[in-house]
Chain A
Amino acid sequence: MSQPAPALDPAWVKGVLIALTVLFFAVFIFLPLFLVFAEALKKGWDYYVSAWTDRVAFQAIQLTLLTTAIVVPLNSVFGLAAAWLITKYNFRGKTFLISLLDLPFAVSPVIAGLIFVLVLGSNTPVGAWLGTLGIKVIFAPPGIVLATLFVTFPFVVRELIPLMQSQGREEEEAALTLGARGWQVFLRVTLPNIKWGLLYGMVLCNARAIGEFGAVSVVSGHIRGETNTIPLHVEILYSEYNFTASFAVASILVFMALVTLVLKAWLEHQFEKSEKGDLP
Protein backbone atom coordinates (compact mmCIF):
# COMPACT_ATOMS: atom_id res chain seq x y z
CA MET A 1 0.00 0.00 0.00
CA SER A 2 2.74 2.46 0.90
CA GLN A 3 5.06 1.48 -1.92
CA PRO A 4 5.74 4.41 -4.25
CA ALA A 5 3.56 4.47 -7.33
CA PRO A 6 5.27 3.99 -10.68
CA ALA A 7 5.84 7.42 -12.16
CA LEU A 8 3.40 7.36 -15.04
CA ASP A 9 2.70 11.07 -15.19
CA PRO A 10 5.11 13.46 -16.90
CA ALA A 11 7.09 15.61 -14.45
CA TRP A 12 5.35 18.84 -15.44
CA VAL A 13 1.89 17.37 -14.80
CA LYS A 14 3.04 16.19 -11.41
CA GLY A 15 4.53 19.61 -10.65
CA VAL A 16 1.42 21.54 -11.67
CA LEU A 17 -0.96 19.27 -9.75
CA ILE A 18 1.12 19.36 -6.56
CA ALA A 19 1.40 23.17 -6.85
CA LEU A 20 -2.39 23.48 -7.24
CA THR A 21 -3.01 21.26 -4.23
CA VAL A 22 -0.55 23.16 -2.07
CA LEU A 23 -2.08 26.48 -3.17
CA PHE A 24 -5.56 25.27 -2.23
CA PHE A 25 -4.37 24.11 1.18
CA ALA A 26 -2.52 27.40 1.71
CA VAL A 27 -5.60 29.53 1.03
CA PHE A 28 -8.31 27.36 2.53
CA ILE A 29 -6.58 25.59 5.43
CA PHE A 30 -3.31 27.22 6.48
CA LEU A 31 -4.39 30.88 6.24
CA PRO A 32 -7.49 30.42 8.45
CA LEU A 33 -5.35 28.40 10.86
CA PHE A 34 -2.71 31.13 11.20
CA LEU A 35 -5.35 33.87 11.25
CA VAL A 36 -6.99 32.47 14.38
CA PHE A 37 -3.79 32.62 16.40
CA ALA A 38 -2.67 35.97 14.93
CA GLU A 39 -6.02 37.59 15.80
CA ALA A 40 -6.22 35.90 19.19
CA LEU A 41 -2.81 37.18 20.28
CA LYS A 42 -3.29 40.69 18.87
CA LYS A 43 -3.67 42.28 22.29
CA GLY A 44 -0.97 40.24 23.96
CA TRP A 45 -0.74 37.10 26.01
CA ASP A 46 -2.44 38.42 29.14
CA TYR A 47 -5.53 39.48 27.22
CA TYR A 48 -5.53 36.11 25.47
CA VAL A 49 -5.57 34.21 28.73
CA SER A 50 -8.14 36.53 30.29
CA ALA A 51 -10.51 35.90 27.35
CA TRP A 52 -10.97 32.31 28.27
CA THR A 53 -10.59 32.48 32.02
CA ASP A 54 -13.41 35.04 32.15
CA ARG A 55 -16.46 33.78 34.05
CA VAL A 56 -18.81 33.51 31.09
CA ALA A 57 -16.20 31.77 28.94
CA PHE A 58 -15.46 29.40 31.78
CA GLN A 59 -19.15 28.53 32.06
CA ALA A 60 -19.28 27.90 28.29
CA ILE A 61 -16.32 25.52 28.55
CA GLN A 62 -18.03 23.74 31.44
CA LEU A 63 -21.30 23.28 29.56
CA THR A 64 -19.50 22.02 26.46
CA LEU A 65 -17.53 19.49 28.51
CA LEU A 66 -20.69 18.37 30.31
CA THR A 67 -22.51 17.92 26.99
CA THR A 68 -19.72 15.84 25.47
CA ALA A 69 -19.39 13.79 28.66
CA ILE A 70 -23.04 12.76 28.24
CA VAL A 71 -23.25 12.52 24.45
CA VAL A 72 -20.12 10.50 23.65
CA PRO A 73 -20.85 7.56 26.02
CA LEU A 74 -24.54 7.44 25.04
CA ASN A 75 -23.76 7.39 21.33
CA SER A 76 -21.00 4.84 21.86
CA VAL A 77 -23.36 2.41 23.60
CA PHE A 78 -25.92 3.02 20.87
CA GLY A 79 -23.22 2.50 18.23
CA LEU A 80 -22.21 -0.85 19.74
CA ALA A 81 -25.80 -2.08 20.00
CA ALA A 82 -26.77 -0.94 16.50
CA ALA A 83 -23.60 -2.27 14.87
CA TRP A 84 -24.04 -5.62 16.63
CA LEU A 85 -27.63 -5.77 15.41
CA ILE A 86 -26.82 -4.80 11.83
CA THR A 87 -23.73 -6.96 11.33
CA LYS A 88 -24.69 -10.14 13.21
CA TYR A 89 -28.29 -10.65 12.14
CA ASN A 90 -30.54 -10.45 9.13
CA PHE A 91 -33.96 -8.98 9.65
CA ARG A 92 -36.65 -7.01 7.87
CA GLY A 93 -36.13 -3.25 7.81
CA LYS A 94 -32.36 -3.52 8.01
CA THR A 95 -31.81 -1.42 4.86
CA PHE A 96 -34.11 1.27 6.23
CA LEU A 97 -32.20 1.27 9.50
CA ILE A 98 -28.88 1.65 7.70
CA SER A 99 -30.09 4.59 5.61
CA LEU A 100 -31.40 6.22 8.78
CA LEU A 101 -27.81 6.33 10.00
CA ASP A 102 -26.93 8.78 7.21
CA LEU A 103 -29.73 11.15 8.13
CA PRO A 104 -27.83 13.67 10.31
CA PHE A 105 -25.34 14.17 7.49
CA ALA A 106 -28.09 15.14 5.08
CA VAL A 107 -30.30 17.15 7.44
CA SER A 108 -29.49 20.79 8.20
CA PRO A 109 -28.25 21.27 11.79
CA VAL A 110 -30.84 24.02 12.19
CA ILE A 111 -33.56 21.41 11.57
CA ALA A 112 -31.91 19.15 14.15
CA GLY A 113 -32.47 21.88 16.70
CA LEU A 114 -35.92 22.79 15.45
CA ILE A 115 -37.39 19.30 15.86
CA PHE A 116 -36.66 19.35 19.59
CA VAL A 117 -38.18 22.81 19.97
CA LEU A 118 -41.33 21.48 18.28
CA VAL A 119 -41.56 18.44 20.58
CA LEU A 120 -40.35 19.81 23.89
CA GLY A 121 -40.70 23.60 23.72
CA SER A 122 -42.71 25.19 26.55
CA ASN A 123 -45.71 25.76 24.23
CA THR A 124 -46.03 22.06 23.35
CA PRO A 125 -48.05 19.54 25.43
CA VAL A 126 -44.98 17.53 26.44
CA GLY A 127 -42.95 20.65 27.17
CA ALA A 128 -45.77 22.13 29.26
CA TRP A 129 -46.13 18.90 31.23
CA LEU A 130 -42.38 18.76 31.90
CA GLY A 131 -42.60 22.42 32.93
CA THR A 132 -45.13 21.59 35.66
CA LEU A 133 -42.58 19.11 36.97
CA GLY A 134 -40.02 21.91 37.01
CA ILE A 135 -38.01 20.47 34.12
CA LYS A 136 -36.93 22.87 31.41
CA VAL A 137 -35.55 21.25 28.28
CA ILE A 138 -35.55 23.89 25.55
CA PHE A 139 -33.41 26.97 26.19
CA ALA A 140 -31.69 24.85 28.83
CA PRO A 141 -28.82 22.32 28.93
CA PRO A 142 -30.99 19.19 28.34
CA GLY A 143 -32.07 20.59 24.96
CA ILE A 144 -28.44 21.19 24.04
CA VAL A 145 -27.63 17.59 24.91
CA LEU A 146 -30.55 16.27 22.83
CA ALA A 147 -29.68 18.34 19.77
CA THR A 148 -26.05 17.24 20.02
CA LEU A 149 -27.15 13.60 20.37
CA PHE A 150 -29.08 13.86 17.11
CA VAL A 151 -26.23 15.43 15.19
CA THR A 152 -23.59 12.96 16.40
CA PHE A 153 -25.37 9.61 16.74
CA PRO A 154 -24.02 8.02 13.52
CA PHE A 155 -20.29 8.52 14.10
CA VAL A 156 -19.53 5.46 16.25
CA VAL A 157 -21.92 3.07 14.54
CA ARG A 158 -20.70 4.00 11.06
CA GLU A 159 -17.11 3.21 12.00
CA LEU A 160 -18.10 -0.10 13.58
CA ILE A 161 -20.33 -1.51 10.83
CA PRO A 162 -17.69 -2.08 8.08
CA LEU A 163 -15.23 -3.34 10.68
CA MET A 164 -17.60 -5.89 12.25
CA GLN A 165 -18.92 -6.86 8.83
CA SER A 166 -15.44 -7.85 7.68
CA GLN A 167 -14.84 -9.83 10.86
CA GLY A 168 -17.96 -11.95 10.44
CA ARG A 169 -19.29 -13.95 13.36
CA GLU A 170 -17.16 -17.11 13.34
CA GLU A 171 -15.03 -16.05 16.31
CA GLU A 172 -18.09 -15.28 18.44
CA GLU A 173 -19.75 -18.56 17.45
CA ALA A 174 -16.60 -20.50 18.30
CA ALA A 175 -16.47 -18.88 21.74
CA LEU A 176 -20.13 -19.77 22.31
CA THR A 177 -19.60 -23.41 21.37
CA LEU A 178 -16.69 -23.49 23.79
CA GLY A 179 -19.13 -22.49 26.52
CA ALA A 180 -18.72 -18.74 26.87
CA ARG A 181 -21.75 -16.72 27.89
CA GLY A 182 -23.22 -13.90 25.79
CA TRP A 183 -21.65 -10.97 27.63
CA GLN A 184 -18.34 -12.82 27.92
CA VAL A 185 -18.29 -13.25 24.15
CA PHE A 186 -18.93 -9.54 23.66
CA LEU A 187 -16.34 -8.36 26.19
CA ARG A 188 -13.59 -10.91 25.45
CA VAL A 189 -13.98 -11.55 21.73
CA THR A 190 -15.85 -8.71 20.01
CA LEU A 191 -14.64 -5.70 21.95
CA PRO A 192 -10.88 -6.39 21.61
CA ASN A 193 -11.39 -6.87 17.87
CA ILE A 194 -13.11 -3.54 17.37
CA LYS A 195 -11.42 -1.35 19.99
CA TRP A 196 -9.52 0.88 17.52
CA GLY A 197 -12.59 1.42 15.37
CA LEU A 198 -14.64 2.21 18.46
CA LEU A 199 -12.09 4.75 19.68
CA TYR A 200 -11.91 6.25 16.20
CA GLY A 201 -15.66 6.77 16.10
CA MET A 202 -15.61 8.23 19.62
CA VAL A 203 -12.93 10.76 18.59
CA LEU A 204 -15.06 11.90 15.62
CA CYS A 205 -18.20 12.02 17.77
CA ASN A 206 -16.35 14.02 20.42
CA ALA A 207 -15.06 16.58 17.91
CA ARG A 208 -18.50 17.17 16.44
CA ALA A 209 -20.13 17.30 19.88
CA ILE A 210 -17.72 20.01 21.05
CA GLY A 211 -18.06 22.03 17.87
CA GLU A 212 -21.75 21.73 16.99
CA PHE A 213 -23.17 25.18 16.35
CA GLY A 214 -26.37 25.31 14.29
CA ALA A 215 -28.41 22.73 16.19
CA VAL A 216 -27.27 23.96 19.58
CA SER A 217 -27.88 27.57 18.58
CA VAL A 218 -31.58 26.84 18.01
CA VAL A 219 -32.22 25.17 21.37
CA SER A 220 -29.88 27.23 23.51
CA GLY A 221 -31.68 30.57 23.73
CA HIS A 222 -28.25 32.19 24.14
CA ILE A 223 -28.53 32.89 27.83
CA ARG A 224 -25.14 34.23 28.87
CA GLY A 225 -23.54 32.32 31.69
CA GLU A 226 -26.21 29.62 31.50
CA THR A 227 -26.80 28.04 28.11
CA ASN A 228 -23.68 29.06 26.21
CA THR A 229 -21.35 26.52 24.70
CA ILE A 230 -17.86 27.37 23.43
CA PRO A 231 -18.92 27.82 19.76
CA LEU A 232 -21.90 29.97 20.82
CA HIS A 233 -19.57 32.09 22.94
CA VAL A 234 -17.36 32.64 19.89
CA GLU A 235 -20.41 33.90 18.00
CA ILE A 236 -21.57 36.22 20.79
CA LEU A 237 -18.13 37.83 21.19
CA TYR A 238 -17.85 38.21 17.42
CA SER A 239 -21.25 39.86 17.06
CA GLU A 240 -20.24 42.29 19.84
CA TYR A 241 -17.21 43.22 17.68
CA ASN A 242 -14.93 41.84 20.37
CA PHE A 243 -12.84 40.08 17.69
CA THR A 244 -9.72 39.46 19.75
CA ALA A 245 -11.62 37.71 22.54
CA SER A 246 -13.71 35.83 19.98
CA PHE A 247 -10.62 34.45 18.27
CA ALA A 248 -8.98 33.72 21.63
CA VAL A 249 -11.91 31.45 22.51
CA ALA A 250 -11.95 30.08 18.94
CA SER A 251 -8.28 29.14 19.32
CA ILE A 252 -9.27 26.59 21.98
CA LEU A 253 -11.52 24.97 19.39
CA VAL A 254 -8.79 25.06 16.73
CA PHE A 255 -6.41 23.42 19.16
CA MET A 256 -9.06 20.77 19.84
CA ALA A 257 -9.48 20.19 16.08
CA LEU A 258 -5.73 19.70 15.66
CA VAL A 259 -5.63 17.24 18.57
CA THR A 260 -8.49 15.37 16.88
CA LEU A 261 -6.51 15.10 13.65
CA VAL A 262 -3.42 13.83 15.48
CA LEU A 263 -5.50 11.26 17.39
CA LYS A 264 -7.13 10.19 14.14
CA ALA A 265 -3.79 9.66 12.42
CA TRP A 266 -2.48 7.76 15.44
CA LEU A 267 -5.55 5.50 15.60
CA GLU A 268 -5.33 4.80 11.87
CA HIS A 269 -1.72 3.76 12.41
CA GLN A 270 -2.65 1.50 15.36
CA PHE A 271 -5.41 -0.01 13.31
CA GLU A 272 -3.12 -0.82 10.38
CA LYS A 273 -0.64 -2.39 12.79
CA SER A 274 -3.29 -4.60 14.36
CA GLU A 275 -4.56 -5.64 10.91
CA LYS A 276 -1.06 -6.69 9.92
CA GLY A 277 -0.66 -8.56 13.21
CA ASP A 278 -3.67 -10.69 12.29
CA LEU A 279 -2.05 -12.01 9.15
CA PRO A 280 -0.03 -15.21 9.49
Chain B
Amino acid sequence: MKRNILPGFGLSLGYTVFYLSFVVLIPLFVLLLQPVGLGWEAFWKAATSRRALSAYGVSFTTALIAALVNFVIGLITSWVLVRYRFPGRRILDALVDFPFALPTAVAGVCFAVLYSPAGWLGQFFEPLGFHVVNTTTGITLALIFIGFPFVVRTLQPVLADLEKELEESAQSLGAGRAQTFVRVIFPAIFPSLVTGFTLAFSRGVGEYGSVIFIAGNLPFKTEIAPLIIMSKLDQFDYAGAASVAAVLLLFSFVMLLALNALQTWANKEPK
Protein backbone atom coordinates (compact mmCIF):
# COMPACT_ATOMS: atom_id res chain seq x y z
CA MET B 1 0.00 0.00 0.00
CA LYS B 2 1.10 3.51 -0.86
CA ARG B 3 2.33 5.63 2.02
CA ASN B 4 -0.37 7.99 3.22
CA ILE B 5 0.74 11.59 2.64
CA LEU B 6 -2.39 13.29 3.94
CA PRO B 7 -1.67 15.49 6.96
CA GLY B 8 -3.78 15.77 10.08
CA PHE B 9 -3.66 12.24 11.45
CA GLY B 10 -2.35 13.31 14.85
CA LEU B 11 -4.74 16.25 15.13
CA SER B 12 -7.87 14.37 14.12
CA LEU B 13 -6.98 11.34 16.24
CA GLY B 14 -6.16 13.47 19.27
CA TYR B 15 -9.31 15.54 18.98
CA THR B 16 -11.60 12.56 18.37
CA VAL B 17 -10.21 10.60 21.31
CA PHE B 18 -10.29 13.64 23.59
CA TYR B 19 -13.89 14.49 22.68
CA LEU B 20 -15.18 10.93 22.95
CA SER B 21 -13.43 10.44 26.28
CA PHE B 22 -15.12 13.42 27.87
CA VAL B 23 -18.55 13.09 26.34
CA VAL B 24 -18.86 9.29 26.26
CA LEU B 25 -16.15 7.03 27.62
CA ILE B 26 -15.33 8.49 31.04
CA PRO B 27 -19.01 9.00 32.03
CA LEU B 28 -19.89 5.46 30.90
CA PHE B 29 -16.91 4.07 32.78
CA VAL B 30 -17.98 5.86 35.96
CA LEU B 31 -21.46 4.37 35.58
CA LEU B 32 -20.02 0.86 35.30
CA LEU B 33 -17.84 1.51 38.39
CA GLN B 34 -20.85 2.30 40.58
CA PRO B 35 -22.08 -1.30 40.88
CA VAL B 36 -18.48 -2.36 41.61
CA GLY B 37 -18.27 0.16 44.44
CA LEU B 38 -21.58 -1.12 45.73
CA GLY B 39 -20.37 -4.71 45.99
CA TRP B 40 -21.69 -7.62 44.00
CA GLU B 41 -24.45 -8.61 46.41
CA ALA B 42 -25.95 -5.15 46.79
CA PHE B 43 -25.70 -4.63 43.04
CA TRP B 44 -27.47 -7.89 42.33
CA LYS B 45 -30.19 -7.06 44.86
CA ALA B 46 -30.83 -3.64 43.31
CA ALA B 47 -30.65 -4.87 39.74
CA THR B 48 -32.95 -7.83 40.30
CA SER B 49 -35.53 -6.50 42.74
CA ARG B 50 -39.02 -7.74 41.94
CA ARG B 51 -40.05 -4.32 40.70
CA ALA B 52 -37.00 -4.02 38.45
CA LEU B 53 -37.51 -7.52 37.04
CA SER B 54 -41.09 -6.76 36.17
CA ALA B 55 -39.99 -3.50 34.51
CA TYR B 56 -37.40 -5.32 32.35
CA GLY B 57 -40.21 -7.69 31.40
CA VAL B 58 -42.53 -4.86 30.37
CA SER B 59 -39.79 -3.07 28.40
CA PHE B 60 -38.58 -6.17 26.58
CA THR B 61 -41.95 -7.64 25.66
CA THR B 62 -43.49 -4.36 24.46
CA ALA B 63 -40.35 -3.49 22.48
CA LEU B 64 -40.27 -6.98 21.00
CA ILE B 65 -43.92 -6.92 19.91
CA ALA B 66 -43.55 -3.39 18.51
CA ALA B 67 -40.44 -4.41 16.55
CA LEU B 68 -42.25 -7.47 15.16
CA VAL B 69 -45.17 -5.28 14.04
CA ASN B 70 -42.67 -2.91 12.44
CA PHE B 71 -41.00 -5.84 10.70
CA VAL B 72 -44.29 -6.43 8.83
CA ILE B 73 -45.46 -2.84 8.42
CA GLY B 74 -41.97 -1.68 7.50
CA LEU B 75 -41.73 -4.36 4.81
CA ILE B 76 -45.11 -3.39 3.33
CA THR B 77 -44.35 0.34 3.48
CA SER B 78 -40.90 0.00 1.89
CA TRP B 79 -42.31 -2.21 -0.84
CA VAL B 80 -45.11 0.26 -1.59
CA LEU B 81 -42.76 3.28 -1.57
CA VAL B 82 -40.08 1.65 -3.74
CA ARG B 83 -42.14 -0.41 -6.18
CA TYR B 84 -45.36 1.53 -6.79
CA ARG B 85 -46.07 4.98 -8.21
CA PHE B 86 -49.18 6.72 -6.90
CA PRO B 87 -50.20 10.28 -6.04
CA GLY B 88 -48.88 11.36 -2.62
CA ARG B 89 -46.04 8.84 -2.62
CA ARG B 90 -43.37 11.50 -2.12
CA ILE B 91 -45.23 13.00 0.83
CA LEU B 92 -45.55 9.61 2.51
CA ASP B 93 -41.88 8.96 1.81
CA ALA B 94 -40.85 12.21 3.48
CA LEU B 95 -43.16 11.55 6.45
CA VAL B 96 -41.51 8.19 7.21
CA ASP B 97 -38.99 10.21 9.21
CA PHE B 98 -41.67 12.12 11.12
CA PRO B 99 -41.38 9.86 14.22
CA PHE B 100 -37.67 10.55 14.22
CA ALA B 101 -38.00 14.32 13.74
CA LEU B 102 -40.82 14.73 16.27
CA PRO B 103 -39.63 15.16 19.87
CA THR B 104 -40.58 12.04 21.82
CA ALA B 105 -42.45 13.98 24.52
CA VAL B 106 -44.79 15.40 21.88
CA ALA B 107 -45.44 11.92 20.50
CA GLY B 108 -46.12 10.82 24.07
CA VAL B 109 -48.76 13.43 24.86
CA CYS B 110 -50.37 12.96 21.42
CA PHE B 111 -50.83 9.22 21.86
CA ALA B 112 -52.06 9.62 25.43
CA VAL B 113 -54.77 12.08 24.34
CA LEU B 114 -55.62 10.23 21.12
CA TYR B 115 -56.33 6.94 22.94
CA SER B 116 -57.82 8.37 26.15
CA PRO B 117 -61.42 7.17 26.74
CA ALA B 118 -62.79 10.40 25.24
CA GLY B 119 -60.05 10.74 22.61
CA TRP B 120 -60.43 10.60 18.81
CA LEU B 121 -59.53 6.90 18.73
CA GLY B 122 -60.11 5.92 22.37
CA GLN B 123 -63.86 6.59 22.13
CA PHE B 124 -64.21 3.72 19.65
CA PHE B 125 -62.11 1.23 21.62
CA GLU B 126 -63.53 1.96 25.08
CA PRO B 127 -67.11 0.61 24.45
CA LEU B 128 -65.52 -2.61 23.20
CA GLY B 129 -63.82 -2.98 26.57
CA PHE B 130 -60.43 -2.46 24.93
CA HIS B 131 -58.23 -0.19 27.02
CA VAL B 132 -55.13 1.45 25.60
CA VAL B 133 -54.15 4.15 28.08
CA ASN B 134 -52.37 2.77 31.18
CA THR B 135 -51.85 -0.64 29.54
CA THR B 136 -48.99 -2.38 27.78
CA THR B 137 -51.01 -2.00 24.56
CA GLY B 138 -50.52 1.75 24.83
CA ILE B 139 -46.77 1.32 25.40
CA THR B 140 -46.57 -0.97 22.36
CA LEU B 141 -48.41 1.54 20.16
CA ALA B 142 -45.99 4.30 21.14
CA LEU B 143 -43.02 2.02 20.41
CA ILE B 144 -44.44 1.07 16.99
CA PHE B 145 -44.48 4.78 16.16
CA ILE B 146 -40.91 5.27 17.41
CA GLY B 147 -39.44 2.22 15.64
CA PHE B 148 -41.20 2.65 12.30
CA PRO B 149 -38.49 4.73 10.51
CA PHE B 150 -35.73 2.28 11.45
CA VAL B 151 -37.09 -0.68 9.48
CA VAL B 152 -38.23 1.37 6.47
CA ARG B 153 -35.00 3.36 6.15
CA THR B 154 -32.84 0.23 6.46
CA LEU B 155 -34.87 -1.72 3.93
CA GLN B 156 -35.63 0.93 1.29
CA PRO B 157 -32.17 1.29 -0.29
CA VAL B 158 -31.69 -2.49 -0.42
CA LEU B 159 -35.05 -2.97 -2.07
CA ALA B 160 -34.28 -0.22 -4.59
CA ASP B 161 -30.94 -1.82 -5.51
CA LEU B 162 -32.42 -5.27 -5.92
CA GLU B 163 -31.94 -6.40 -9.50
CA LYS B 164 -35.19 -6.68 -11.35
CA GLU B 165 -33.61 -9.18 -13.79
CA LEU B 166 -33.45 -11.74 -11.01
CA GLU B 167 -37.19 -11.56 -10.44
CA GLU B 168 -37.96 -11.47 -14.13
CA SER B 169 -35.88 -14.52 -14.87
CA ALA B 170 -37.44 -16.37 -11.92
CA GLN B 171 -40.80 -15.58 -13.38
CA SER B 172 -39.88 -16.51 -16.91
CA LEU B 173 -38.66 -19.83 -15.53
CA GLY B 174 -42.21 -20.40 -14.37
CA ALA B 175 -42.18 -19.21 -10.75
CA GLY B 176 -45.39 -17.58 -9.61
CA ARG B 177 -45.35 -14.11 -8.07
CA ALA B 178 -45.71 -15.42 -4.54
CA GLN B 179 -43.01 -18.01 -5.13
CA THR B 180 -40.67 -15.35 -6.56
CA PHE B 181 -41.20 -13.24 -3.48
CA VAL B 182 -40.61 -16.05 -1.00
CA ARG B 183 -37.67 -17.68 -2.85
CA VAL B 184 -35.89 -14.74 -4.51
CA ILE B 185 -36.81 -11.37 -3.00
CA PHE B 186 -37.29 -12.21 0.67
CA PRO B 187 -33.93 -14.00 1.14
CA ALA B 188 -32.16 -11.04 -0.46
CA ILE B 189 -33.74 -8.45 1.83
CA PHE B 190 -33.90 -10.57 4.97
CA PRO B 191 -30.58 -9.41 6.50
CA SER B 192 -31.56 -5.74 6.26
CA LEU B 193 -35.03 -6.52 7.60
CA VAL B 194 -33.44 -8.15 10.64
CA THR B 195 -31.08 -5.17 11.01
CA GLY B 196 -34.03 -2.77 11.00
CA PHE B 197 -35.87 -4.99 13.46
CA THR B 198 -32.87 -5.03 15.81
CA LEU B 199 -32.50 -1.24 15.63
CA ALA B 200 -36.18 -0.75 16.41
CA PHE B 201 -36.05 -3.31 19.22
CA SER B 202 -33.03 -1.84 21.00
CA ARG B 203 -34.41 1.67 20.62
CA GLY B 204 -37.72 0.49 22.08
CA VAL B 205 -36.16 -1.06 25.18
CA GLY B 206 -34.55 2.25 26.17
CA GLU B 207 -37.35 4.55 25.01
CA TYR B 208 -38.71 6.92 27.64
CA GLY B 209 -40.34 10.14 26.41
CA SER B 210 -43.02 8.73 24.12
CA VAL B 211 -43.98 5.97 26.57
CA ILE B 212 -44.39 7.51 30.03
CA PHE B 213 -47.46 9.60 29.16
CA ILE B 214 -49.55 6.72 27.84
CA ALA B 215 -48.16 4.04 30.18
CA GLY B 216 -49.67 5.27 33.42
CA ASN B 217 -46.51 3.90 35.07
CA LEU B 218 -48.21 1.45 37.41
CA PRO B 219 -45.61 -0.63 39.30
CA PHE B 220 -45.60 -4.31 38.27
CA LYS B 221 -47.94 -3.52 35.37
CA THR B 222 -46.87 -0.71 33.06
CA GLU B 223 -43.66 0.54 34.61
CA ILE B 224 -40.78 0.49 32.08
CA ALA B 225 -37.11 -0.05 32.98
CA PRO B 226 -35.90 3.50 32.21
CA LEU B 227 -38.58 4.79 34.58
CA ILE B 228 -37.14 2.68 37.42
CA ILE B 229 -33.84 4.50 36.90
CA MET B 230 -35.70 7.79 36.96
CA SER B 231 -37.58 7.08 40.21
CA LYS B 232 -34.44 5.77 41.96
CA LEU B 233 -32.74 9.03 40.99
CA ASP B 234 -35.64 11.00 42.43
CA GLN B 235 -35.00 9.21 45.74
CA PHE B 236 -31.26 10.01 45.43
CA ASP B 237 -30.53 6.27 45.24
CA TYR B 238 -27.67 6.77 42.76
CA ALA B 239 -26.14 3.33 43.20
CA GLY B 240 -29.51 1.66 42.70
CA ALA B 241 -30.16 3.70 39.57
CA ALA B 242 -26.70 2.77 38.29
CA SER B 243 -27.33 -0.92 38.93
CA VAL B 244 -30.47 -1.00 36.79
CA ALA B 245 -28.73 1.17 34.20
CA ALA B 246 -25.79 -1.27 34.07
CA VAL B 247 -28.17 -4.10 33.18
CA LEU B 248 -29.73 -2.05 30.38
CA LEU B 249 -26.30 -0.96 29.21
CA LEU B 250 -25.13 -4.55 29.00
CA PHE B 251 -28.13 -5.25 26.81
CA SER B 252 -27.21 -2.27 24.58
CA PHE B 253 -23.68 -3.61 24.12
CA VAL B 254 -25.04 -7.01 23.15
CA MET B 255 -27.34 -5.30 20.65
CA LEU B 256 -24.40 -3.34 19.18
CA LEU B 257 -22.41 -6.54 18.75
CA ALA B 258 -25.41 -8.19 17.11
CA LEU B 259 -25.79 -5.22 14.75
CA ASN B 260 -22.11 -5.42 13.79
CA ALA B 261 -22.49 -9.10 13.00
CA LEU B 262 -25.69 -8.39 11.06
CA GLN B 263 -23.98 -5.78 8.93
CA THR B 264 -21.21 -8.19 8.02
CA TRP B 265 -23.85 -10.78 7.14
CA ALA B 266 -25.84 -8.29 5.02
CA ASN B 267 -22.72 -7.24 3.09
CA LYS B 268 -21.63 -10.81 2.45
CA GLU B 269 -25.01 -11.79 1.00
CA PRO B 270 -24.50 -12.19 -2.76
CA LYS B 271 -26.40 -9.47 -4.59
Contact B24 A108 (CB under 8 A): no
Contact A250 B109 (CB under 8 A): yes
Which of A21, A31, A81 meets B12, CB within 8 Å?
A: A81
| 0 or 1 for each of A172-188: is its CB under 8 Å from B? (1 = yes) | 11001000001001100
- Asked if B85 lies at the interface with its beta carbon under 8 angstroms from chain A, I say yes
Please judge, given known A-B contacts A20-B76, A108-B248, whether A254 and B102 are in contact too, CB under 8 Å: yes
The closest CB in chain A to the CB of B260 belongs to: A99
Contacts of A117 in B (CB 8 A): 233, 238
- Asked if A50 lies at the interface with its beta carbon under 8 angstroms from chain B, I say no
Which of B100, B114, B255 meets A31, CB within 8 Å?
A: B114
The 15 listed contacts between A and B (C-beta, < 8 Å) are: A8-B177, A17-B79, A18-B80, A28-B144, A81-B11, A85-B13, A90-B4, A91-B9, A102-B256, A118-B31, A213-B209, A214-B104, A231-B106, A254-B102, A260-B97
Contact B110 A81 (CB under 8 A): no
Q: Which residues of B contact A (CB under 8 A)?
A: 4-9, 11-13, 15-16, 19-20, 23-24, 26-28, 30-31, 34, 73, 76-77, 79-86, 90, 92, 94-95, 97-107, 109-111, 113-114, 120-121, 144-145, 148, 160, 164, 167-168, 171, 177, 199, 202-203, 205-209, 213, 225-227, 229-230, 233, 238, 241-242, 245, 248-249, 252-253, 255-256, 259-260
Contact B206 A110 (CB under 8 A): yes
Contact B84 A114 (CB under 8 A): no
4 closest A-B pairs by beta carbon, nearest first, are A108-B206, A211-B103, A115-B27, A213-B209
Contact B177 A6 (CB under 8 A): no
In the complex, what distance in Å separates the CA atom of A173 from the CA atom of B145? 46
* A78 → B minimal CB distance (Å): 5
| 0 or 1 for each of A104-118: is its CB under 8 Å from B? (1 = yes) | 011111110011111
- Asked if A9 lies at the interface with its beta carbon under 8 angstroms from chain B, I say yes
* B62 → A minimal CB distance (Å): 14
In the complex, what distance in Å separates the CA atom of A1 from the CA atom of B157? 11
Please judge, given known A-B contacts A6-B164, A261-B94, whether A234 and B106 are in contact too, CB under 8 Å: yes
| 0 or 1 for each of A149-165: is its CB under 8 Å from B? (1 = yes) | 11001000000000000
* B230 → A minimal CB distance (Å): 6
Beyond A106-B203, A108-B226, 11 extra complex contacts between A and B, CB < 8 Å: A5-B82, A8-B168, A81-B19, A84-B12, A111-B245, A114-B245, A186-B8, A211-B106, A247-B109, A256-B101, A261-B95
In the complex, what distance in Å separates the CA atom of A234 from the CA atom of B111? 14
Q: Is the interface of B mostly helix, strand, loop or mixed?
A: helix
- Asked if A4 lies at the interface with its beta carbon under 8 angstroms from chain B, I say yes
In the complex, what distance in Å separates the CA atom of A150 from the CA atom of B24? 6
Contact A214 B208 (CB under 8 A): yes
Contacts of B167 in A (CB 8 A): 8
Contact B9 A89 (CB under 8 A): yes
Contact A214 B209 (CB under 8 A): yes
Which listed segment binds B: A32-40, A51-59, A128-136, A270-278? A32-40
Contact A211 B226 (CB under 8 A): no
In the complex, what distance in Å separates the CA atom of A235 from the CA atom of B112? 12
The closest CB in chain B to the CB of A215 belongs to: B208
The closest CB in chain A to the CB of B19 belongs to: A78
Contacts of B98 in A (CB 8 A): 29, 33, 257, 261
Please judge, given known A-B contacts A111-B31, A214-B208, whether A264 and B120 are in contact too, CB under 8 Å: no
- Asked if A45 lies at the interface with its beta carbon under 8 angstroms from chain B, I say no
Contact A17 B208 (CB under 8 A): no
Contact B4 A88 (CB under 8 A): yes
* B38 → A minimal CB distance (Å): 12
Within 8 A of B (CB), among A218-259: 218, 230-232, 234-235, 238, 243, 246-247, 250, 253-254, 256-258
The closest CB in chain B to the CB of A126 belongs to: B30
Among the interface residues B106, B203, B249, B256, which one has the most CB atoms of the partner chain A within 10 A? Answer: B106
Contact B101 A173 (CB under 8 A): no
- Asked if A144 lies at the interface with its beta carbon under 8 angstroms from chain B, I say no
Contact A118 B102 (CB under 8 A): no
Contacts of A8 in B (CB 8 A): 167-168, 171, 177
In the complex, what distance in Å separates the CA atom of A251 from the CA atom of B98? 14
Contacts of A232 in B (CB 8 A): 105
Contact B105 A235 (CB under 8 A): yes
* A268 → B minimal CB distance (Å): 9
- Asked if A265 lies at the interface with its beta carbon under 8 angstroms from chain B, I say yes
Contact A118 B23 (CB under 8 A): no
Contacts of A72 in B (CB 8 A): none
Please judge, given known A-B contacts A110-B226, A231-B209, whether A119 and B30 are in contact too, CB under 8 Å: yes
Contact B101 A35 (CB under 8 A): no
In the complex, what distance in Å separates the CA atom of A176 from the CA atom of B230? 53
